[in-house]
């Protein structure tokens, strides 16, 4: 399996046109210190809460299925899905900040 992943990354990243762009988003220098701190705290706390929500969701599923409480299991499944969505949202935050900054600068 690892050889398959290695080959896929080699083809995607090192191909002639290069499917994956060589782009690293960075916040401009004037925003880097305060925004970096805010994004760091938000990402750290948010991801910790997303993991906690996912674990609580799995616990609700386990309790709901073992005690024949379908409603509790259904809420647990929703908690897991929302934890995944929130984790992905936190992951794209820096890109959104950079995009909004560039829009206000007219780039």
Question: Could you read off the pLDDT tens digit of each residue along the chain, which spans 107 residues?
Answer: 577 777 666 766 665 555 555 656 566 676 667 777 777 787 788 888 889 999 999 999 999 989 989 999 999 999 999 999 988 888 787 678 777 877 777 65
**Does the pTM of the predicted model rise above 0.85?**
no
Contact at 8 Å (CB) between 12 and 19?
yes
The candidate with the shortest Cα–Cα distance to 87, out of 59, 55, 49, 35, is: 49
Tokens 């090192």 found at: 14
Its sign, for the CA torsion 100, 102, 103, 105, is: positive
């Amino acid at each position: 399996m690892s050889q398959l992943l290695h080959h896929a990354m080699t083809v995607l990243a090192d191909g002639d046109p290069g499917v994956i762009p060589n782009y690293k988003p960075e916040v401009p220098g004037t925003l880097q210190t305060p925004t970096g701190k805010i994004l760091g705290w938000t990402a750290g706390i948010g991801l910790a809460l997303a993991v906690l929500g996912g674990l609580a969701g799995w616990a609700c599923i386990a309790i709901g299925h073992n005690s024949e409480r379908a409603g509790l299991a259904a809420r647990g499944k929703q908690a897991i899905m929302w934890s995944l969505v929130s984790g992905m949202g936190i992951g794209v935050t820096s890109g959104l900040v950079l995009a909004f900054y560039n829009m206000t600068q007219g780039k």
